Structure 1
Amino acid sequence: MSFASLLWLAAFSRAAGAQESTVESGGTLEEIMVTAQRRAESINDVGLAIQAFDASKLEALRVDSVADLTSVVPSFTVSQSYQGVPTYTMRGIGFNTINLSATSTVGTYVDEVAYAYPIMNTGPLMDLERVEVLKGPQGTLYGRNTTAGLINFITARPTDAFAAAVSADVGNYQSYNVGGYISGPLSERVQARIAVRSENSGEGWQRSASRGERLGEISKHGVRASLAIQPGDSTQIDFSATYWRNESDTVAGQGIGFTPATANSPFNAPGLVNFIRSNPPDDATDADWAPESVRSTDIGVGVGLAGPLRENNPFTGLKLRIDQDLSDSVKLVSLSSYNEFEREALFDWSGAPYEILVQKATGKIRSLAEDLHIEGATENVNWLVGAYYAQDEILDSNRTLLGQNANVSLIRTVGLPLLGTPFNCCGYTAADLARSFRTYEDVGNIDTETWSVFTNAGWRLNDLFKLNAGVRYTEDRQDYRGCSRDFNGSMLPNVNVVNRALFLQNYGILSAPISAGQCHTFDPVTGTFHEIVSTLDESNVAWRASLDFTPADSTLIYASVSRGAKAGTTPINPANIARQNAPVKQELLTAYELGLKATGADRTLQTNLAAFYYDYEDKQIGTYFADPIYTALTRLDNVPKSQAYGVEGDVTWEPVKGITIAATALWLQTEVQDYMGTNAAGQPQDYDGAEFIYSPELQGSLSLLYLRPLRNGLNLEMTLNGRYQSKSNTIFEDIDLYKIPAYGVANVSIGLRGAEDRWSFTLWSRNVLDKYYWTAVASNANVVVRFPSPPRTYGATIGLKF
């Protein structure tokens, strides 16, 4: 396919809603206002690749979560890690990690407040005014790790007049959701709004292949209270408090194969190989996990994990924004925020009814931030200058249960002949060794501090050209303390006998034995087991320059170059060797983009196009460490040099009043250019030429929205939405087990809406064709498991407005 053909294809096939459209008199597209550059302006006047969706479009397309955005923003993908932490990728730029403490390349914001950690987005979405998706580095105005782009959720504000609404869903899997808001004035200068949302399902969509159990029940509840205060004509105060709790089931993995080290291992649990071979998943509902009767039973000092496979994650968010006019054209803005997230969750990603890997994840994030800036505008110049400070405190802990993992059985067997040697420091017996290595704990404490100063300005040079420029200087500091450590004495026999012997063989060092509760992460430099302590202190300069060319009122052509940075981070891994928990340094991305926005056919057609090239330095990845005992274990690493480039485009067309067609497409190429890493077999491998993970070559979506007036103010509404992506990989290596095949998913709804939008009734279905597909594949060091997306769901929604 020629480059010109690709441009044509992209121009006529991008995201549903890449330009927000609503039906109005004459069948024209309504212009949408956005705050992508932290000031209100028309989306068609902003020289950035942006998609925006207002509340009505989000409702029509049933976007109820961050993951649902992928159906209308196909260049954005979400994959679920086995510990429930989402991995966000935009235009191929992502960071694959399971850690609660890791930030994403795609920044997420709520009312311009950074939700720096993706786990903070796992609650219910409530009462949104619109969503803005910005592509490419956004570090000058937003900072906080936005090398790929950002998503800003703008919540609905309190209103001057009374308004209220309520909606209720019922559907399959015994699902029922309720949401609504009430808004209005408390006095002449004070307005308030309260929004609530509850999402529930009483029947899980995953079924055990070996017994009559299910997983997948949903229980999410949230509330947000907002106040708008005008103490004087020149002052605006906005305060909001958000609370939600997620008590949903965790998702089980589907066992599909084995790691290279265990594929032919005699140490696999009896019957495990036959189970995996006899139960290949062919449906999203197929899965299995260890029975609670197995994992909850204490075996000697190996304490089990009891309770349902479920989350218990509360979140609290506070925001205070003060806008103070200093003059008619200058304003001071203070944005203060505090976010707190806690987690206690039980996961089983064994992929089979065996105790291969069960984990209890606990953690806490406290995030305090202040953004202070002054902004102003004259007839031809707008400008902004400010400072930002944030402080985060994070505890990330995982207790693992793996008594039937092949690696555990191997270590127990290797240790038997060592019991009669001087390595048996403490008189362990064969029975002690047979019960050892059932459970341990990975713990990390991370304190992060970041501050920055920034400025941005736009100059209207003449009627044709506008120059935009911005720069931000940032300093980040991260202090880390953590290790893998014994839990209740379970690790003592295998660490003190087997590990010490093998470390002597590999490193020539005989270390002192550990005691109960002590770190068992080994440091070859000091020859001891100890807690790992590190400090990552970095600085960077993010910048952007662009030139906008407006040859006509309906056309904008822009060219930009920008640089963004994602701060370095330290992992929390099952660390046998200290280097596994070494930090990775910051990554840098320089982006070049040429774009077009054009409105035509009497404002019934909007076409947007962007071609981009990304020069990527020190890309952060989750990969493998060649371990002297366990072959390959997880770590983080930097890829020195890589690149991504592509073409993205969209068309929104309203050929007649009441019919809106929106299409989108992304053609993407990604390539590692310089990286020697370690593969899943623990062997060195040259990854030059490898594609990025979770980065399909082709992605696209199509939405058809139909509105037909009937009589007496009654309207018929129909929506059809579909998304497609070509095949992609979940690791750099070309291994079939780890691939995600090409797939397409369709959603549909039909309903009636009453006069003046007072009531509505809708029938809907997501994944209406019941397509079996998955978004992630991972290894638990024994079994390779995939994580499917839900099967077909359907139901009905009734809504009332007052």
Structure 2
Amino acid sequence: MAQIKRAHTKWVVTASVLALTSGYSQLANAQDAGPTVVDEIIVTAQKREQSIRDVPIAVSAFSAENLDAMKIEGGSELLRAVPNVTFSKSNFSMYNFAIRGIGTKALSAASDPAVAVSFNNTPLLRNRLFESEYLDVSRVEVLRGPQGTLYGRNATAGVVNMLPNLPGPDFEALAKAEVGNYGTLRGQAMINIPLTDTFWVRAAGSITSRDGFDHNTFKDEDVNGRELWSTRLSAAWEPTDRFRANLLWEHFEEDDDRLRTGKQLCTRAPSMTRIGSTDIPAETQGRFSQGCLPGSLYDDAAYSAPNGAGMAQMFMLNSIGLGSKPPAPGEFFGESVGAVGSALDPYAGVTQSKNLREIATAYDPRYVATNDVVQLNLELYINEKLRLYSQTAYSKDEFWATQDYARYMSNEIFNSSDGLQDVFGNPMIGGPAPDGYYTDPQLGASRRMESVDLSRSDNRQWYQEFRIQSDLDGGFNFILGANYLDFKTQDDYFVFNNTFNYLAEYFYGRVIPGQLNKIETRKCTDGSVDECIYVDYSSIDNLAGDGHNYFRSKNEVHTQSWAVFGEGYWDIGDNKRLTIGLRYTDDTKTTTPYPSQLLLGSLDSLGFGPLSGGSSVRGYPADPEVKQSWEALTGRAVFDWKPVDGLMLYASYSRGYKGGGTNPPRAGINPLVVQYQPLAETFEPEYVNAFEVGSKFLNSTGSFGLNVTAFYYDYTDYQVSQIVDRISLNENFDATSAGVEFEAIWRPTPNFRMDANVGFLKTRIGDGEGSIDVMNRTQGNEDWLVVRPWVQVPSNCIAPKHMVEAIYAHPITNSLQSYALSALCGGSKRIGSFSPDFPADSIVYQYDFWTGLEYNPLTDAPNGGRGFEADISGNELPNAPRWTVNIGAQYTWHFSGSELTLRGDYYRQADSYFRVYNTEYDEIRGWDNVNLSATWELPERNLAVQAYVKNLFDDAPIVDAFTNSDDSMLTTNVFTLDPRLWGVSLTKRF
């Protein structure tokens, strides 16, 4: 439990941005004449209680009062108080907290965060500490740089450690109520009761309710609200001076209409009308549009909608003509967006509001999360010189969130199927869109194209650590320890689209002979017959999850890790100390891959399969388990020296490690039907060698403190992912990161103080590194074209322009053109069977039956047809702004029995990029933020009233972005800040 040693004047730091101090408390009375000094705070950054001034680590620490003064109400806002830190939510169920340009840019279930998040010194791989609000916190510590000894695996960028208040021997209680704009209601309460002289209990709870920050213009209602609550129960027992124990349970729960991601932007890509001297038929022009262009997210053009004519399901639906007489493309679809001889584009003419806080959707979002942590801590004094610690923790985290996939509306595309006739003139029975509404089993009835996603996660973790810590006389002390972690996760990501289900029911569905005019008999309802696409008719709230009428990425990972570690501390002379730490880590990850099955069915008896090209009828059969193991030796060496009072200099070398993993499996297409473009199935662990020098200075009067840190990182195989083939493809890049950080505090008078932190950062991807940019697959090569594949093959490919022109120049039917174009992205044996020269025992795609040309994309195109590699040598890492700065100032006026403190904080972050390619499209422009607060305290009554304004100028900058998949037309999800918030709170202590 933190202890603050006050010297001379009693006062409280209301905003610590300095590694040598933190804490918010009362200012000295006006009549106190003692010198102004900075509080000394005790931290556990090295898993032992030390003054923060004696810790040769770049560490910032913040008390609960300090966090409240700066209105830092959750981990996401720590970027305003720590130099070279950025934060953003991620596209799915996680977040990216980056320190010195290093964060979590790898998104698969098998990847781990680079910043280790700990609760009371216990690491939690999945947690809600960055979306829950702080509750009864003792302090928060942020350690910058690799922590490869005491905190171990995955702490390549640093550690965020939240330490709760634990039960104590004195009675105390607190009640706090707050109201604010957006209908905000907040409440917190705490009580600490000593039941006996040696046994104490503590309970704390909080609740937050507010209306939505965003407005849904389609329904004219607000969304993105919050309804959450947290509780913590703890007990402490100290029967003797040599033994103590504490047990705590914390529960977090949320159920509201919060959005995981913000607005979706797109600079619309046009269709191609002509290749060379050959015209392209209107119905296939969209095959050469990737949907969205890599234009700046800050241009007005970014508020368009994608070119939906390129969506694979659209050009398939455009050619169905199901149930009409005679069959005619576009018969079931609205004349405004599709008709005979034209492309069906559900987004034709659609534009968006340019307000990042406005979306348009017919679907109500929902966000549900629960998290439980149980922790038992034991501390035994073996003797006066040795102390034994045991930490045991179990955590459970469950997450379920659904929202509109696009967050803008399509046109109405479904025509009424009433009165349709079959080819024999007989009335059709059970048409797909009575009165123009198509009913999807998960999404309901609509005239528009509806698309919704669902992200859910189920996680369990067990952790055990033992440590022996010395307190020896003389010049040497040590820590020895061992720990074990067992973590199991299942992550599911679904995308539902009513056009997917339409195809499953009325195109790929089963047809019963003799009942061709009965449309509902095409539905595959039981999955027992070959050549059908099984349709799951369960609701999204209680999903069976075995349907092929939606996309599902299912990922199960079991991580087991054990480690032994030790650290020694030698006093090697007057005011000089050497620290040596080593850690051996053994990691094992077992992944069960489940290929996705969107619109896939089973093979037929001839081995060619249905049009879907799949190999299963229903469900998600697992591929063989993938077991990966790594061993790593990490640690650090630190030399620190105190040449004079108030000054410490230090230099350190540390090595960090983060485990690798598997990339999620792609679609379960049978290789006899389609061969994929090559992709790596696994990604490597990342390692970092870090060098750091620093100083911590406090002047003789205690009125001015300055910390300066310089660092250089050399990364091997830094992990970054992007969406390829509907999976998070993790790639490894070598990189460097270097920078300088300044943290200062100045208090010239007892009533006035200023503080600041500034971070300068330069990251660089290593020479020779390259990656395929899905937004620019041709890299400007005019001899190649981007071609969109068929609906079951997720990613675009590139093909020679002369090959595409030859296909269109040949007098063949539109349907064969469609097949031929699809074959350019992997192709199918079925296409080859049209050629008499097709070899039956291999996959070679020959088009000599109409062009006289031969082309195998897997061997004849760069990178198997995926595209030309972009040279990213020398580029900056994602989410690594060149500089960050925060400046705060406060003044306190003293009155009889009360005092008033005004505080202002200004934060600025420079330009950065959200991808490794550093193009105009990737740019995140610099942004700033201003916050104000006023606190009126009555110390004798233990009463405080606070008013605050956050984001004073109501800015809505883009703080991060995420590129969606090719088959989503390469749209971009963006993230922004909360709007202007104001509130007033009343706090009473007892």
TM-score bracket relative to the smaller structure: 0.7 to 0.9
Give CA-to-partner distance per residue, 1:451-487, whole Å, 9 cap, x none. 000000111112231000100000000000022434x
User: Distance in 2 between the 1:779 and 1:414 partners?
Assistant: 30
User: Distance in 1 between the 2:913 and 2:82 partners?
Assistant: 20
Structure 1 counterpart of 2:772: 678
Structure 2 counterpart of 1:207: 215
User: Distance in 2 between the 1:165 and 1:667 partners?
Assistant: 40
Of 675, 682, 688, the residue aligned with 1:583 is 682
Of 108, 120, 130, the residue aligned with 1:111 is 120
Question: 2:290, 2:310 within 8 Å by CA — same for their partners in 1?
Answer: no
Cα gap change, 1:162 to 1:227, in 2 (>3 Å): same
Higher relative contact order (CA 8 A, sep 6+): 1
Please state if 1:785 is matched with 2:785.
no
Of 279, 292, 297, the residue aligned with 2:352 is 279
Cα gap change, 1:643 to 1:437, in 2 (>3 Å): same
Structure 2 counterpart of 1:660: 753
- The aligned amino acid for 1:387 is A
Structure 1 counterpart of 2:172: 163
Cα gap change, 1:58 to 1:129, in 2 (>3 Å): same
Cα gap change, 1:366 to 1:475, in 2 (>3 Å): same
Please state if 1:267 is matched with 2:310.
yes
Please state if 1:322 is matched with 2:378.
yes
Give CA-to-partner distance per residue, 1:631-683, whole Å, 9 cap, x none. x85311211x2101010111011111122211011110011114222211342
Cα gap change, 1:170 to 1:101, in 2 (>3 Å): farther
- What is the TM-score with the length of structure 1 in the denominator? 0.85
How far does residue 788 in structure 1 lie from its aligned partner after superposition? Answer: 1.9
Cα gap change, 1:565 to 1:80, in 2 (>3 Å): same
How far does residue 123 in structure 1 lie from its aligned partner after superposition? Answer: 2.7
User: Distance in 1 between the 2:156 and 2:502 partners?
Assistant: 43
Of 654-663 and 22-31, deviating more is: 22-31
Structure 2 counterpart of 1:645: 738
User: Distance in 1 between the 2:571 and 2:907 partners?
Assistant: 39
Give CA-to-partner distance per residue, 1:746-778, whole Å, 9 cap, x none. 111112111246111111111111011122212
How far does residue 82 in structure 1 lie from its aligned partner after superposition? Answer: 2.2
Of 230, 242, 249, the residue aligned with 1:241 is 249
Of 388, 401, 414, the residue aligned with 2:483 is 388
Question: 1:15, 1:650 within 8 Å by CA — same for their partners in 2?
Answer: no
- The aligned amino acid for 1:492 is L
User: Distance in 2 between the 1:136 and 1:457 partners?
Assistant: 19
Of 538, 541, 552, the residue aligned with 1:441 is 552
User: Distance in 1 between the 2:678 and 2:169 partners?
Assistant: 58
Cα gap change, 1:173 to 1:501, in 2 (>3 Å): farther
Give CA-to-partner distance per residue, 1:239-284, whole Å, 9 cap, x none. 11111112132324313215872235623575765565x3252x34
Structure 1 counterpart of 2:712: 613
Question: 2:153, 2:585 within 8 Å by CA — same for their partners in 1?
Answer: no
User: Distance in 1 between the 2:623 and 2:610 partners?
Assistant: 17
- The aligned amino acid for 1:401 is F
Structure 2 counterpart of 1:20: 21
Of 350-359 and 762-771, deviating more is: 350-359
How far does residue 571 in structure 1 lie from its aligned partner after superposition? Answer: 4.4
Please state if 1:359 is matched with 2:453.
yes
Cα gap change, 1:575 to 1:178, in 2 (>3 Å): farther
Structure 2 counterpart of 1:295: none
User: Distance in 2 between the 1:753 and 1:100 partners?
Assistant: 48
Structure 1 counterpart of 2:515: none
Give CA-to-partner distance per residue, 1:168-203, whole Å, 9 cap, x none. 1111111111012101311011011111111111x2
Of 562-571 and 452-461, deviating more is: 562-571
Where does 1:93-132 land on structure 2 (aligned, <5 Å)? 93-99=102-108, 102-119=111-128, 121-132=130-141
Please state if 1:766 is matched with 2:767.
no
Structure 2 counterpart of 1:348: 404
Cα gap change, 1:590 to 1:314, in 2 (>3 Å): same
How many corresponding residue pairs?
Answer: 729
Question: 2:450, 2:497 within 8 Å by CA — same for their partners in 1?
Answer: yes
Structure 1 counterpart of 2:648: 556
Where does 1:466-477 land on structure 2 (aligned, <5 Å)? 466-477=577-588
- The aligned amino acid for 2:702 is R
Structure 1 counterpart of 2:879: 694
Cα gap change, 1:579 to 1:358, in 2 (>3 Å): farther
Cα gap change, 1:582 to 1:428, in 2 (>3 Å): closer
Question: 1:85, 1:99 within 8 Å by CA — same for their partners in 2?
Answer: no
- The aligned amino acid for 1:248 is D
Please state if 1:450 is matched with 2:561.
yes
State the secondary structure of the residue aligned to 2:78.
Answer: helix
User: Distance in 2 between the 1:216 and 1:428 partners?
Assistant: 39
Question: 1:126, 1:196 within 8 Å by CA — same for their partners in 2?
Answer: yes
User: Distance in 2 between the 1:678 and 1:410 partners?
Assistant: 31
Cα gap change, 1:358 to 1:496, in 2 (>3 Å): farther
State the secondary structure of the residue aligned to 2:309.
Answer: coil
Give CA-to-partner distance per residue, 1:315-339, whole Å, 9 cap, x none. 1111111100011111011111101
State the secondary structure of the residue aligned to 1:311.
Answer: strand
Of 459, 462, 469, the residue aligned with 2:573 is 462
How far does residue 618 in structure 1 lie from its aligned partner after superposition? Answer: 0.8
Question: 2:596, 2:665 within 8 Å by CA — same for their partners in 1?
Answer: no
Question: 1:532, 1:581 within 8 Å by CA — same for their partners in 2?
Answer: no
Question: 1:724, 1:744 within 8 Å by CA — same for their partners in 2?
Answer: yes
Cα gap change, 1:309 to 1:549, in 2 (>3 Å): same
Cα gap change, 1:778 to 1:414, in 2 (>3 Å): farther
Cα gap change, 1:707 to 1:135, in 2 (>3 Å): same
- The aligned amino acid for 2:488 is E
Cα gap change, 1:244 to 1:571, in 2 (>3 Å): farther
User: Distance in 1 between the 2:377 and 2:49 partners?
Assistant: 16
Cα gap change, 1:227 to 1:428, in 2 (>3 Å): closer
Structure 1 counterpart of 2:892: 707
User: Distance in 2 between the 1:341 and 1:540 partners?
Assistant: 28
State the secondary structure of the residue aligned to 2:873.
Answer: coil
Cα gap change, 1:68 to 1:51, in 2 (>3 Å): same
Give CA-to-partner distance per residue, 1:674-708, whole Å, 9 cap, x none. 42222113422221111100110011111113222
State which structure, 1 or 2, has the greater radius of gyration over its C-alpha atoms: 2
Question: 2:460, 2:487 within 8 Å by CA — same for their partners in 1?
Answer: yes
Cα gap change, 1:384 to 1:503, in 2 (>3 Å): farther
User: Distance in 2 between the 1:218 and 1:100 partners?
Assistant: 26
- The aligned amino acid for 2:730 is L
Where does 1:394-433 land on structure 2 (aligned, <5 Å)? 394-403=489-498
Question: 1:84, 1:98 within 8 Å by CA — same for their partners in 2?
Answer: no
Give CA-to-partner distance per residue, 1:298-355, whole Å, 9 cap, x none. xxxxxxxxxx412221111111111000111110111111011112221334131245
Higher strand share: 1
Question: 1:89, 1:95 within 8 Å by CA — same for their partners in 2?
Answer: yes
Please state if 1:622 is matched with 2:721.
yes
Structure 1 counterpart of 2:163: 154
User: Distance in 2 between the 1:581 and 1:314 partners?
Assistant: 34
- The aligned amino acid for 2:384 is D
Question: 2:890, 2:902 within 8 Å by CA — same for their partners in 1?
Answer: yes
How far does residue 568 in structure 1 lie from its aligned partner after superposition? Answer: 1.5
User: Distance in 1 between the 2:889 and 2:64 partners?
Assistant: 17
Where does 1:435-584 land on structure 2 (aligned, <5 Å)? 438-486=549-597, 491-492=599-600, 513-519=615-621, 531=623, 533-572=625-664, 575=667, 582-584=681-683
Question: 1:101, 1:117 within 8 Å by CA — same for their partners in 2?
Answer: no
State the secondary structure of the residue aligned to 1:211.
Answer: coil
Seq. identity, %: 23
How far does residue 575 in structure 1 lie from its aligned partner after superposition? Answer: 4.9
Give CA-to-partner distance per residue, 1:722-751, whole Å, 9 cap, x none. 211011111112333432111001111112
User: Distance in 1 between the 2:715 and 2:941 partners?
Assistant: 48
Question: 2:665, 2:681 within 8 Å by CA — same for their partners in 1?
Answer: no
